[in-house]
Amino acid sequence: MKLIAYNDKFKEQIETYQVKNLVFTGLPQNAIKISQENINYHPVLLVNELNEICTFFILDYGDDKFKYTNNINSLLLRSFSTNERFLRKGYALTALSSLPRYVQTNYPNIQEITLGVNKRNVAAQKLYEKAGFKKESRTYIGKKGPQLIFSKAIL
Model confidence over 89-128: pLDDT tens digits?
A: 889 999 999 999 999 999 999 999 999 999 999 999 999 9
Question: What CA–CA distances, in Å, run from 139 to 35, 69, 123?
Answer: 26, 11, 18
Q: What pLDDT, on a 0 to 100 scale, did the predictor assign at position 10?
A: 93
Q: Tell me what the mean pLDDT of segment 137-150 comes to.
A: 88
Strand order in the sheet with 145-153: 2-5, 41-47, 53-60, 74-82, 112-118, 145-153, 134-142
Whether the predicted pLDDT of 23 surpasses 80: no
Q: What pLDDT, on a 0 to 100 scale, did the predictor assign at position 27?
A: 81
Which residues are CB-contacts of 39 (< 8 A; sequence separation ≥ 6)?
61
Question: What CA–CA distances, in Å, run from 113 to 11, 39, 69, 107?
Answer: 26, 18, 9, 11
pLDDT band, residue 68 (cuts 50/70/90): very high
Whether the predicted pLDDT of 25 surpasses 80: no
Q: Tell me what the mean pLDDT of segment 73-86 comes to.
A: 93
SS3 state at 6: coil
| Partners of 38 in beta bridges | none
SS3 state at 18: coil
SS3 state at 106: helix
Cα distance between residue 108 and residue 89, in whole Å: 30
Q: What pLDDT, on a 0 to 100 scale, did the predictor assign at position 22?
A: 65
* Average pLDDT over all residues of the chain: 91
